Each structure stands twice: as structure tokens, then as C-alpha cells.
Amino acid sequence: MKKITKKTVDNFRQWLIAEEKSQATTDKYTVDVRAFITFLNGENITKEKLLKYKGMLIKNYAPASVNSVIASINCFLKFLGLQSMKVKSLKIQKRIFTDKERELSKEEYKGLLRAAEKKKNKRIFHLMQTICATGIRVSEVKYITVDAVKAGKVQIDCKGKMRVVMIPGKLCKALEKYAKSRKIEKGPIFVTKNGNPMDRSNIWHDMKKLC
């Protein structure tokens, strides 16, 4: 547990320079540490405070940005001799492509879309487009929210591992139009009649009927 002051940060900056860190790295680490100090609001550094700050970062920034700030703070902790209090970075999954045997063929995919159009089932029509265009899992459909569509990307947290998936521009426009037609202004776009996010059971039921 240790309290930090402006002088501490100044000394940290000089230490970075002595460690031959680049100008950009030195500036970034200093800015990140100053933001952390503001968060502390005069209180001492504790593991609890560090984890709380990490949680705040996760809610407001992309995983890569969170890890970047954590790197700055961990370097600062090393400077203070508080290595035991270092915070773990987020685990970011790399995109893994499925085997061809498990993929739908282009014709099968188009056939399902035609069937959805014929049955005038816009929800399953846009849902299939979303899953195929982004590669997300069925269980991750709940992360496709109004805000995610507006941002053009979705942040997915799966068992503590976080990743960001981009949503194609054309799909974003289609989903925005769909959400507007269903009067969905916030939260998940794909919901049941009761307004609850669609789960694996709902989706497979609709898919089975479509097939």
C-alpha cells in the first residue's frame, strides 16, 4: 500500500527516460499513470483499487486499449517496487476459422436466406446474415446490440476471454433499419416476443423450422 504524489510521477517519468524508453512510450505511460492517480483521488494504491480501476477500463474501452493501460500501470508498479501488485492483462482470443466440413456452402446459405424471405421472417433473415458475416457463435448473438451496431463493432466476453469483432458497414445499415422497424432503441437487437435476448434454444428452434 503506497500513496503517490505529483513528485512521484515526475520521478517515474525521469526513470522511464533513464530506462531509454521512447518519447512516445514515456508520454503515454505518464498520461496513463496520471489518469490512474485521478481515479485514486488521494487514496493509497491497493490491489482492490487496481482491480476496481481495471473493471472501469473494461466497461469503457476495447480490450486492446485496456491492456495498453494495464502495461503502463504495471510499469509504474515496478518503478515503485510493488511488482507483487501487478494486474493481469485481458486474454484476447484470436479469430479461429472452422473446418470446411463444418461450414455451410454458399448455396446452402443463400437457400436459407430465400426461405426466410419467403416466410417473411426478418428476424431469422438478419440473424443468419449477422452470424455468417461476423463469425460469432450462436451463444454470442446477445452481444449484437444497438450500440454495437452504431459503433460498427462488438466486444465479446466469453469465459473471461475478450475479443472485438467488426460488423460490416452494409450489415450495420440493415440491422439499424431492422431495429427501427421493431422499435428497438437499446440493448440486444435479436429478442423474443417478450423482449428477452434470443438464446441458443430460441435460435435453433427458428432455424429448424426454416430448414
| CATH assignment at residue 138 | 1.10.443.10
In this prediction, residue 24 carries a pLDDT of 87
Give the H or E element holding residue 206.
helix 200-210
Same domain, 111 and 170: yes
The residue among 165, 170, 164 whose CA lies nearest residue 129 is 170
Confidence check: pLDDT of 119 > 80: no
Q: Residue 7: its pLDDT value, please?
A: 85
What proportion of the chain, given as a percentage, has pLDDT over 70? 89
* Average pLDDT, integer, range 162-169: 86
**Residue 175: how many other CB atoms lie within 10 Å:** 24
Regarding whether 114 and 193 lie in a shared domain, the answer is yes
79 and 110 both lie in a single domain? no
* CA 199/CA 197 separation, integer angstroms: 6
For residue 145, being part of any structural domain is answered with: yes
Between 4-8, 74-78, 100-104, 197-201, the lowest mean confidence (pLDDT) is in: 100-104
Whether the pLDDT of residue 11 is over 70: the answer is yes
Residues 125 and 185 in one domain: yes
Q: What is the mean pLDDT of the chain?
A: 84
Looking at the structure, tell me whether residues 184 and 203 fall in a common domain: yes
Distance from C-alpha of 113 to C-alpha of 110, rounded to nearest angstrom: 5
pLDDT category of residue 71 using cuts at 50, 70 and 90: very high
Mark whether 85 and 137 lie in a shared domain.
no
Single-letter residue type at 92:
I
Predicted pLDDT at 29: 92
Domain of residue 181 covers 100-210
Same domain, 86 and 123: no
* DSSP assignment string, 135-204: ---GGGGGG-BHHHHHHTEEEEEETTEEEEEE--HHHHHHHHHHHHHTT--SSBSSB-TTSPBP-HHHHH
Indicate if 157 and 206 belong to the same structural domain.
Answer: yes
Angstrom distance (rounded) from CA 57 to CA 65: 8
At 205, the pLDDT band (50, 70, 90 cuts) reads confident
Q: What is the CATH number of the domain that holds 69?
A: 1.10.150.130
Q: Given pLDDT bands bounded at 50, 70 and 90, which one contains residue 3?
A: low
Domain count, the chain: 2
Alpha helices in 41-93, H assignment, sequence order: 47-60, 63-80
Asked if 66 and 116 sit in the same domain, the reply is no
**Do 70 and 159 fall into the same domain?**
no
Q: Is residue 95 in some structural domain?
A: no
Give yes or no: residues 104 and 194 share one domain. yes
pLDDT value, residue 101: 47
What are the tens digits of pLDDT across the range 80-104? Answer: 998 899 999 888 765 444 444 445 5
The answer, yes or no, to whether residue 50 has pLDDT greater than 90, is yes
> How many residues make up the chain in this entry?
211
Position 10 in a domain: yes
Q: Are residues 149 and 53 in the same domain?
A: no
Q: What distance in Å separates the CA atoms of residue 202 and residue 199, rounded to the nearest whole number?
A: 5
pTM, rounded to two decimals: 0.49
